[in-house]
Amino acid sequence: MKKPVFKQIDGNSINYWMLLALLGSFVLAAVGSHFYMEHGGHYVTGMNNQIVWGMPHVFAVFLIVAASGALNIASISSVFGKTAYKPLAPLSTLVALALLAGGLMVLVLDLGRPDRLIVAMTYYNFKSIFAWNMILYNGFFLIVGIYMWTMLQRNLNKYSKVAGMSAFIWRLALTTGTGSIFGFLVARQAYDAAIMAPMFVVMSFSFGLAIFLLIVIATYKWTDRPLGDAIFKRLKNLLGIFVAGVLYFVIAQHLTNLYATEHHGVEAFILRDGGIYTQLFWYGQIILGSLIPLAILYHPATANSRSAISVASIFIVLGGLAQMYVIIIGGQAYPLELFPGKEVTSSFFDGMVNTYSPTIAETLLGLGGIAVALFMIAFAVKVLRFLPESLADEAVDPHHSK
Amino acid sequence: MSNSEQNTNEYRRKFLAQSAAVAGLAIAPGIILNQVAHAKSDSDKATSANRWGMLINTNKCASGCTDCVTACKTENAWGSVDGNTSSETHSSKEQQAQWIRKVTITDKQTGHVQSLPLMCQHCETAPCVDVCPTGASMKREDGIVQVDKHICIGCRYCMMACPYKARSFVHEKLELQKATAPRGIGTVESCNMCAHRVDKDQDPACVEACNKAEHGAMLFGDLKDANSAISRELKKHGGEQIRADLGLNTGVRYQGL
Amino acid sequence: MMSLRQFAKHLVVLVGLTALPVLSNAGELGPVPPKAKMKASEKTECVEPVGDMRKNHMEFLLHKRDETMREGVRTKTHSLAECIDCHVTPDKKGEFARYGDDKHFCSSCHNYAAVNVDCFDCHSDLPESASSKLRTLNQKNPHHKMTEGGKK
C-alpha cells in the first residue's frame, strides 16, 4: 500500500473562517454562561437539590463517552493491525482528545467551586470512582497525546503499536469508569447495575464512530479531497454493528429490570409513565437513535448514499444525547425508594417525581463543549498534518474488491 | 490509759476505718463514672471509642409537629422559621437547603399513616463518603458524617449517591452564617448531628427541642456505651434502619416503622 | 552620547514617575487595620507575636481548621471565630464593616495586598453577637440594610 500523504487543509476560504466564527461564538456563549452561573450561584440554573446533575452533565458525559469511542479507528489500525484504517488513525486521536477536552470543560465549569479544581487534582479519595476518573481523564490526554506523537513524527512510528495498545487499554478503563459513576450508585433505582459499565463502553463505540464519520465526511467534502467507497463502507458497517450492540445492551438492561418486581416502578416510569423521559426513550433513543439508523445503514436503497449515512450518523448522535438525558436526568427524576410499598410526602419533595426545566444558560454551557471540541479539530487540521490528502480507494487499499 | 479504754479506742479506730472504707467504696463508682461521663474537654479529639447515634420513636412523633426541624433551622441558620425569609433569598423551593425534614408515610395496603423526621443517617459505610472525589465528604472517628467544605468542589456526586437525599447544595451567596455552622455557596451540606454541640457534651438541637417539648420521640447517645440510654433502649425494644437492605449500618435508628 | 543636561532631565522624569504613586498615598504607606477589642495578654498584643501572626496567620488557621473540623478539637487557640470576635469591632455608630470593605479587619490588609480569601464564603465575618442580631432583623425584613459600604 502506498504510504498515505498527510497534508494540512488550506483553511483560507471564507467558509472556513465562518465555521470558526460560528463555533467560537458558541464557545463564548458557554464561557458567558459559566460566569453567569458562578457569579450568583447555581440558583440561576434549573438544577436543584432533587435534580443535581442537569443539561451540562448530559452533554459532558456524552462527549466524554464519545471521546473514548472516537479513538476506536486508531486502535483498530494499531492494535488489531487493520491497515486500511491507518490513514485515519491520527485524525482519530485528534477527535478523541478534542471531544474529551470539550466534555471536561463543561464538567469543570459546572462545579460549585471551579476555583478549587486544583484541590480536585491534589486531594484524592481512592475509593471514589470519580477520583479514579480524574486520573483516567488526565492519563488519557497524556497517553493519547503520546500515541498521536508517535504517528505524526516519522522516526517514532515504530512505537505507535505499543502506544496504541496502551491507549486502547486505557480508554476501556476510562469508559468503564465513566459507566461506573452511575453503576456504583446503590441509592437510585435507575442505577446500581453492573451492566452500566459495559453498556457505556459499547455506547462509546457507537457515538464516537458516528461523530468521527460525520467529521470525516464533512472535512473531505469541504476540502474537495477524495473519500473512496472502500474506507467509507468499512466505517459504515462498523457503525451499524456498534449501534446494534448498544441496542442489545439496552434491551438486556430493561428486560432484566422488568423481571424483578423491585424495579417495576422505575421501569414503568421510564418505559410508560415518565412523560418527557418516556418520549425521549422511545422516540429519541430507540427509534431515532437506533432503529432508523440501522435501517438506513443496511437497507440497500440507502446503504450507499453518503447523505443518507450522514443523516443516520446525526440521528445516532441525537439518540445518544436522548439516552444520556434519560439515564442522567430520568434517573434522578424518579424518587428514591425510602419506604417500599408506602406513599411518601415531605417538604423536601420525597416520594414524588422531580421536575427539571433546563435554563438557556446551562444548555449553552453544554453546547459550548461540543463547540470547543469541533473548534479544536477544525483548527488542528489547519496547522498540523492530520488529514490524508486522499482517501480514494487506491490510496487506502489497492487490493480492495469492488 | 486503762485496758478497757485502750480497747474502746482500738474499737473506735477500727470502726472509723471501716466506715471510711465503706463510704469510699460507695462514692468511688460515682466519681469514676462522673469522670467517664464528662470525658470530652475542648482539647480532646473525637475518638472511635464513641459512636454517636440517634433513636427515633415514630409512635411518639406527631404528624403536624416540626419542633425538631425548627430547632435545626435556628441552630444552624438555614431555611425559614415562622414564615420569615430564608437566608437563601434567590433559590427556588426545590433549591433551598433542608438538613432535616418531616416525612409522612402512608401504607398503601393498610392506610396506616406515620410521621418521622429524616436527616443524614450517619451511616457506618456511607455511600457519600465513598464517592467523594476529594475526600471532603468524611466520617469522623466518632461516626459523625459531615462535609469538609474547605475541600468541597461542589460536584454534587455525594448528593447522587445518598440513599436518603440527606444532602443539600448551596445555590447562592450566603451571609450572616452562624459561627458554629459555616455554610457557603457552591458547597454541599447536611446534618452533622450538631457536632459542635456533641463536642461540648450536649444533645443535637433537634433532640433537645423534642425533649424540651416533652414529646420524647428522639434519643441521642453513644452507641458504643452499653450503659447509655440509647443502647439500653435499643437492646430492649430494638430499632430499625431505613433502607436496611443496603447494609449501611446507620447511626440513626427508628422504632415503629 | 548624552549631555549632562539631557541626563538630568531623564533623571527628574524617572524619579518623578516612581515617586508619584508613593506621594499620592501620602501618609499611608501600608494598610491600616482597625484596632482589636482588647489585647490578648499583657505581654503580647495578639495571641502570637504580631510579626509572627502577620506572616503566618494562614498557617495557624489552616492547621486549626483541620483539627476542629476533622478531629473535633474546639480549643480557642487560633480559632477563626475567636479572631473575628476580637478583631471585628463596631465603629463609633455601632455598625460593623463587612468583609470586602477596607474598614473590615481582614479586608484592610487583604484588599491592600490584593489577596483573595474564600473563608467568608462560608464563615461569618462578624462576631456571633452581631450576626445573630442582624440575622433576626434580616428575617423580618429581607431588604434591611446591614451596613454601609459592605460588599462581598
Per-residue model confidence as pLDDT tens digits over C12-24: 999 988 888 767 6
Does B114 share its domain with B234? yes
Does B63 share its domain with B125? yes
Residue B171 has pLDDT above 60, yes or no: yes
Name the residue ranges covered by the structural domains of chain C.
50-128
pLDDT band, residue B85 (cuts 50/70/90): confident
What is the number of other CB atoms lying within 10 angstroms of the CB of residue B159? 23
| Residue B46 belongs to some domain of the structure | no
Q: What is the mean pLDDT of chain B?
A: 91
Res C39: pLDDT = 84
Does B16 share its domain with B90? no
Residue B192 backbone phi and psi in degrees, to 5: -120, 30
Q: Do A347 and B127 touch (CB under 8 A)?
A: no
Residue B117 backbone phi and psi in degrees, to 5: -85, 140
Does B73 share its domain with B20? no
CA distance linking residue B53 with residue B253, whole number of Å:
8
**What is the DSSP annotation of C80-132?**
HHHHHHHH----TTS----TTSTTSHHHHHHHHHT----HHHHS-SS-HHHHH
Per-residue model confidence as pLDDT tens digits over A306-358: 999 999 999 999 999 999 999 999 999 999 999 998 999 999 999 999 999 99
Residue B30 has pLDDT above 60, yes or no: no
Please, what sign has the CA dihedral across residues A388, A392, A393, A394? negative
Residue B65 has pLDDT above 90, yes or no: yes
| Residue B208 belongs to some domain of the structure | yes
Does B94 share its domain with B221? yes
Domain count, chain B: 2
Res C152: pLDDT = 30
Distances (CA, A) of B104 to A102, A219, A292, B208: 44, 59, 46, 22
| Residue B43 belongs to some domain of the structure | no
Residues of chain B contacting residue C152, judged by C-beta atoms under 8 Å apart:
173, 175
What is the strand order of the sheet B113-119 is part of? A342-346, B100-107, B113-119
Residues of chain C contacting residue B45, judged by C-beta atoms under 8 Å apart:
67, 71-73
Q: Which domain holds residue B152?
A: 52-255
CA distance linking residue A385 with residue A387, whole number of Å:
6
Residue C35 has pLDDT above 90, yes or no: no
Q: Which of B69, B133, B164 faces A125 most closely, judged by CB atoms?
A: B133
Q: In angstroms, what separates the C-alpha of B201 from chain A's closest C-alpha?
A: 30
In sequence order, the β-bridge partners of residue B56 are: B218, B254
Q: Do B178 and C84 touch (CB under 8 A)?
A: no
Per cent of chain A over pLDDT 90 is 87
Per-residue model confidence as pLDDT tens digits over B136-160: 999 999 999 999 999 999 999 999 9
Find out whether B157 and B132 touch, Cβ atoms under 8 Å: yes
CA distance linking residue B74 with residue B78, whole number of Å:
7
CATH of the domain at B180: 3.30.70.20
Residue C147 has pLDDT above 50, yes or no: no
Does B19 share its domain with B80? no
Q: What is the mean pLDDT of chain C?
A: 85
Average pLDDT score over residue span B158-173: 97
Give this prediction's pTM: 0.89
A344 burial type by CB count under 10 A (0-12 exposed, 13-18 middle, 19+ buried)? middle
Minimum CA–CA partner of A350 in chain B: B103
Q: What is the mean pLDDT of chain A?
A: 94
Question: What is the ipTM score, two decimals?
Answer: 0.92
Minimum CA–CA partner of B47 in chain C: C71
Does B31 share its domain with B101? no
Residue B111 has pLDDT above 90, yes or no: yes
Res B24: pLDDT = 64
Q: In angstroms, what separates the C-alpha of A124 from chain B's closest C-alpha?
A: 5
A190 burial type by CB count under 10 A (0-12 exposed, 13-18 middle, 19+ buried)? buried
| Residue B45 belongs to some domain of the structure | no
Per-residue model confidence as pLDDT tens digits over A131-174: 999 999 999 999 999 999 999 999 999 999 999 999 999 999 99
Per cent of chain A over pLDDT 70 is 98
Q: In angstroms, what separates the C-alpha of A137 from chain B's closest C-alpha?
A: 14
Q: Do B170 and A125 touch (CB under 8 A)?
A: no
Q: Do B165 and A345 touch (CB under 8 A)?
A: no
Q: In angstroms, what separates the C-alpha of B255 from chain A's closest C-alpha?
A: 14
Between CA A303 and CA A311, with CA A308 as vertex, the angle to 5 degrees is 130
Q: Do B152 and A116 touch (CB under 8 A)?
A: yes
Residue B104 backbone phi and psi in degrees, to 5: -105, 125
Distances (CA, A) of A301 to A250, A307, B233: 28, 12, 76
Res B148: pLDDT = 96
| Residue B44 belongs to some domain of the structure | no
Does B20 share its domain with B94? no
Average pLDDT score over residue span A88-104: 97
Does B130 share its domain with B6? no
Does B96 share its domain with B222? yes
pLDDT band, residue A65 (cuts 50/70/90): very high
Average pLDDT score over residue span C36-43: 82
| 3-class DSSP assignment, residue A10 | coil
Does B74 share its domain with B20? no
Average pLDDT score over residue span C83-104: 92
Q: For chain B, what is the HEC assignment?
A: CCHHHHHHHHHHHHHHHHHHHHHHHHHHHHHHHHHHHCCCCCCCCCCCCCCEEEEEEHHHCCCCCCHHHHHHHHHHCCCCCCCCCCCCCCCCCCCCCCCEEEEEEEECCCCCEEEEEEECCCECCCHHHHHCCCCCEEECCCCCEEECCCCCCCCCHHHHHCCCCCCEECCCCCCCCECCECCCCCCEECCCCCHHHHCCCCCCHHHHHHHHCCCCCEEEEECCCCCCHHHHHHHHHCCECCCHHHCCCECEEEECC
Res B42: pLDDT = 86
| Residue B164 belongs to some domain of the structure | yes
Res A397: pLDDT = 66
Q: Which of B101, B133, B173 faces A134 most closely, judged by CB atoms?
A: B133
The label of the residue with cell 503566618 reads: C56
Per-residue model confidence as pLDDT tens digits over A19-29: 999 999 999 99
Q: Do B149 and C122 touch (CB under 8 A)?
A: yes
| 3-class DSSP assignment, residue C26 | coil
Per-residue model confidence as pLDDT tens digits over A190-200: 998 999 999 99
Res A338: pLDDT = 94
Q: Do A128 and B133 touch (CB under 8 A)?
A: yes
Does B128 share its domain with B211? yes
| Residue B128 belongs to some domain of the structure | yes
Res B35: pLDDT = 45
Res B123: pLDDT = 97
Residues of chain B contacting residue C101, judged by C-beta atoms under 8 Å apart:
none
Q: Please, which residues 104-123 of chain C have a Cβ atom closer than 8 Å to chain B? A: 118, 121-123
Residues of chain B contacting residue C138, judged by C-beta atoms under 8 Å apart:
85, 87, 176
CA atoms within 13 A on the CB side of A305: 11
pLDDT band, residue C144 (cuts 50/70/90): very low
